[in-house]
Amino acid sequence: MKKVSLADISKELGVSKTLVSFVMNGRAKEKRINDEVAEKVLAKAKELGYKADYLARAMRTGKSQTIGLVMADISNTFFSKLARSIENEAAEHGYNVIFGSSDENHRKSGKLIDVFKDKRVDGLIICPTIGDITHIKKLNKERYPYVLVDRYFNEVSSNHVVVDNYNGSFKIVEDQIQMGRKRIAFVNFNVELINMTERFNGYIDALKSYGYKYDSSIVKNVSFKNIEKETYLAMKELMKITPKIDTIYFSNNRLAFLGIKYLFENNTINFKKLKLASFDNYEFMHLLQVPIKFGVQPIEELGKSAVDSIMKQINEESGGVEHVKLPLDISFLN
Amino acid sequence: MKKVSLADISKELGVSKTLVSFVMNGRAKEKRINDEVAEKVLAKAKELGYKADYLARAMRTGKSQTIGLVMADISNTFFSKLARSIENEAAEHGYNVIFGSSDENHRKSGKLIDVFKDKRVDGLIICPTIGDITHIKKLNKERYPYVLVDRYFNEVSSNHVVVDNYNGSFKIVEDQIQMGRKRIAFVNFNVELINMTERFNGYIDALKSYGYKYDSSIVKNVSFKNIEKETYLAMKELMKITPKIDTIYFSNNRLAFLGIKYLFENNTINFKKLKLASFDNYEFMHLLQVPIKFGVQPIEELGKSAVDSIMKQINEESGGVEHVKLPLDISFLN
DNA sequence: CTGAAAGCGCTTACAG
DNA sequence: CTGAAAGCGCTTACAG
């Protein structure tokens, strides 16, 4: 079962490779090739089980029909769902996805970007981390098709698709305030990622607009690297001043998981007095015996929009820089 | 910033492309190329920022340095963790991973396999589903490098890396029996996948070896497609005969999640009387206010072994068909 | 030790 | 309407 090439067909039929190539690429009409000839070619191709060699075509055209996906960590539920959505949407366009995880390390993401470019992906979907700004600038300069997802940088222009973190966070805090909470603690990451800072800004502004003062002693920031240890520490400190707070608001589901785990393991907490909220959700929240309010990120839309944006760029239908901001689903607040 | 090719270097240096190619591929010694010449080539390559064109090389050598990963659903926590492990291990070998989800549909997996082969992946890692046996046979015939992971088929020879489902399941049930449980219900998938049937066999044999009779009325099988609805139904039926059972054993974490969700939503359950067990774990289990025993699948090892197996095949160091069976971690039973 | 040349399988500008 | 030929950027068998 040897590979069938264009040459095989052209030889058997006594026509040129050019003609066969045109027919196989559906350009028979455009090139005004005789219908009978075209049909003969198609029939022979089918008979021999011809399939264009992907690598040869990719090499010639420079198109690989593959998208490179750079994310923080595919094993994280948010990203794996995002990856799935991207995979589905890419498939709709006849594209495949090659992926890699950066672990929030810009050296890794830089390397992934380089490798994927080497492999000639037609476009990149990147969930950038701190320090990736250099790589983004480079992509801009090279006019390499890419779109950022979940995060972007104020300092550099980029196509990006994100969630409306500011307003989502604002509404969650507002909801808590409207339910009568007066002291809302906030557990966030200590990083300069725009999605996290926006959630913080939403938190602050919601407080302000209801006349509450921002109290830095009930805001805790933990690092990515030591997330487990530091979240525990943050919770411990918050528990010490527990009469001062009536709500804990987590800026993402991972922090919520760890924070709540801490509370359960040290179960002297009265959940009638201490309420919980989280920016986004996670399956476990549906299992808690304790009420929690949360937003739901439009992950599927996020992935779909990102692919659509990259496709527009690849097909050169893009009308300049594109920013998409999707609303947080806050139906679980009511 | 045009692309630099072998020809550019050879022209500038007045040597042949052959020589440059040999040097760049580290074959200078082997080809006994003059040290000075080799160094000059390397220096010039560095100066010009030369990088071998991936597609041209892949086309010529037939090697793409890419692995195709076909799994059921990347958004599922088990698979996303597996994907991460595979990604890491592949990177160690200088390989990238292109992935796709089959949704337990053999038409989809067949298509993914074809597309990935088209893209000339050097090997496939497949989590096969029912009906994939045809595709496996074809791969065998073509001698295409692949390894099955998590599941395999008794009917066809294959390289595969799986968990010891039988013994893991046996031990979990044994543990329950030793803790005095007498009526252990089992919630499983209604499919012919070997991992699921082995878990069932372990369940039955554990019962038998302790002198208990198998009672089909307390074994429930649900489908992949309607998992949510059917698990709820199964739980409902089990709850009706609740005095007849003192334990519910779920054959995987997804079923456990849904089953426990049902129990919580209908919270008339006395968890002093009804105990819970699951074949594998999920983060939420660490948050339950109710005790549950579970095994832990060696996901990382699973991915690592799968990549190692495929690498051996690619590098033709494979000594025939390879079967790996990894033990379930049952430390959470004690 | 080194080079000229063929070839992988396509696509496409050019010619008629 | 159709074809001969060049070329994408490599690798490698062959020759000297």
pLDDT at A55: 86
Q: How many Cα atoms sit within 13 Å of B272 on the Cβ side?
A: 0
Q: What is the pLDDT of residue A293?
A: 95
Residue A292 is encoded by which pair of tokens?
């929690």
Residue partners of A200: CB distance under 8 A and separation at least 6: A169, A186, A188, A219, A251
For residue B2, is pLDDT > 70? no
Residue B1's pLDDT band (boundaries 50, 70, 90)? very low
pLDDT given at position A42:
84
How confident is the model at residue B68, as a pLDDT? 97
Label each residue of A160-220 as H, E or C. Answer: EEEECHHHHHHHHHHHHHHCCCCCEEEEEECCCCHHHHHHHHHHHHHHHHCCCCCCHHHEE
Distance CA B110 to C1' C3 in A: 46
Over range A134-142, report the average pLDDT.
95
Please report, rounded to whole angstroms, the spatial distance between the CA atom of protein residue A12 and the C1' atom of nucleotide D13.
Answer: 28
Superfamily of domain A61-158+300-325, CATH level 4? Response regulator (3.40.50.2300)
What would the mean pLDDT of B62-84 be, rounded to a whole number? 94
Q: Which residues of B touch A (CB under 8 A)?
A: 1, 51, 53-56, 58-59, 64, 66, 73-77, 79-81, 83-84, 87, 91, 96-101, 115-116, 118-120, 142, 257, 260-261, 264, 283-284, 286-289
- The percentage of residues in chain B with a pLDDT greater than 70, rounded to a whole number, is 99
Check: CB of residue B118 under 8 Å from CB of residue B68: no
Integer CA distances (angstroms), B166 to B90, B162, B191, in order: 29, 11, 16
Average pLDDT over residues B174-184: 95
Q: Which of residues 180-239 of B touch strand D (CB under 7 A)?
A: none
Encode pLDDT of B110-129 as tens digits: 999 999 998 999 999 999 99
Taking the C-alpha atoms of residue B85 and residue B79, their distance in angstroms, rounded to an integer, is: 10
Instruction: Check CB contact under 8 Å for A84 and B75.
Output: yes
Contacts of A29 (CB under 8 A, 6+ apart): none
- Indicate if the alpha-carbon torsion angle B10, B14, B20, B21 is positive or negative: positive
Distance, CA of B108 to CA of A190 (rounded, Å) = 42
State pLDDT tens for residues A246-255.
Answer: 999 999 999 9
By a Cβ cutoff of 8 Å, what residues of chain A touch chain B?
Answer: 1, 51, 53-56, 58-59, 64, 66, 73-77, 79-81, 83-84, 87, 91, 96-101, 115-116, 118-120, 142, 257, 260-261, 264, 283-284, 286-289
Q: Nucleic chain D: which protein residues 269-328 of B have CB below 7 A from it?
A: none
Q: Which residues of B touch A99 (CB under 8 A)?
A: 83, 87, 97-99
Residue A287 is nearest to which of B51, B74, B261, comparing CB atoms? B261
Write out the two tokens for A267.
Answer: 């179960």
Report the pLDDT value the prediction gives residue A1, as an integer from 0 to 100.
Answer: 44
Candidate from A191-205, B1-15, B219-233, B264-278 with smallest mean pLDDT: B1-15
Distance CA A151, CA A313 (A): 19
pLDDT score recorded for residue B231: 97
Q: Do B289 and A100 touch (CB under 8 A)?
A: no
A18 CA: nearest nucleotide by C1': D3
* Cα(B249)–Cα(B176) distance, integer angstroms: 9
* Chain C nucleotides with an atom closer than 7 Å to a protein C-beta: 1-13
For residue B243, is pLDDT > 90?
Answer: no
Q: Give the integer Cα–Cα distance in Å for B201 and B197.
A: 6
- The distance of A229 to chain B (nearest Cα, Å) reads 16
Question: Taking CA atoms, what residue in A is nearest to B3?
Answer: A118
A60 touches strand D (CB under 7 A): yes
For residue A55, the chain B residues in CB contact (below 8 A) are: 55, 58-59, 64, 120
In the structure, how many helices (H) and strands (E) does chain A have? 12, 11
Q: Is the pLDDT of residue B87 over 70?
A: yes
Q: Give domain limits for chain A.
A: 6-52, 61-158+300-325, 165-294
Task: Look at residue A256 and tell me whether its pLDDT is greater than 80.
Answer: yes
Nearest nucleotide to B59 (CA to C1') is C8
Straight-line distance from CA B93 to C1' D15, in Å? 37
Residues 6+ apart with CB under 8 A from B318: B159, B309, B312
Report which of residues B216 and A23 the model is more confident about: B216
- Identify nearest nucleotide to residue A7 by CA to C1′ distance: C9
What are the chain B neighbours of A79 within 8 Å (beta carbons)? 80
Integer Cα distance of A138 and A142 in angstroms: 6
pLDDT over threshold 70, residue A123: yes
More confident residue, B55 or A88: A88
Measure the CA–CA gap between B44 and B49, rounded to whole angstroms: 8
B59: closest chain A residue by CA: A55
Asked, colleague to colleague, whether A61-158+300-325 and A165-294 share their fold, the answer is yes
Residue B194 in this model has a pLDDT that exceeds 50: yes
Residue B29 confidence (pLDDT)? 79
Look at residue A59 in the predicted model and tell me its pLDDT: 86
* CATH architecture, range B6-52: Orthogonal Bundle (1.10)
Residues 184-203 of A with CB under 7 A from strand D: none
CB B68 within 8 A of CB B38: no
The residues, any chain, with a CB within 8 Å of residue A315's CB and separated by 6 or more, are none
The predicted pLDDT at position A2 comes to 60
For residue A289, pLDDT over 90 is answered with: no
Residue B57 CA and nucleotide D12 C1' are separated, in Å, by 12
Give the chain A residue whose CA is nearest to the CA of B258: A287
- CA separation, residue A178 to residues A172, A250, A281 (Å): 10, 18, 21
Select from 3.90.550.10, 3.40.366.10, 3.20.20.70, 3.40.50.2300 the CATH code of A165-294. 3.40.50.2300
What's the CA angle centered on B224, arms B218 and B332, to 5 degrees? Answer: 60
Least CB-CB distance to A54: which of B51, B76, B120?
A: B120
Cβ within 8 Å of residue A146, ≥6 positions away: A123, A124, A125, A126, A136, A139, A158, A159, A310, A313
* Strands, E assignment, A42-153: 66-71, 96-101, 123-126, 146-149
Structure tokens at B81: 């963790």
Contact B284 A289 (CB under 8 A): no
CA torsion through residues B67, B68, B71, B75, sign: positive
Res A300: pLDDT = 97
pLDDT band at B223 (very low <50, low <70, confident <90, very high): very high
B43 touches strand D (CB under 7 A): no
Q: Are A146 and A124 in contact (CB under 8 A)?
A: yes
End-to-end CA distance of chain A: 63
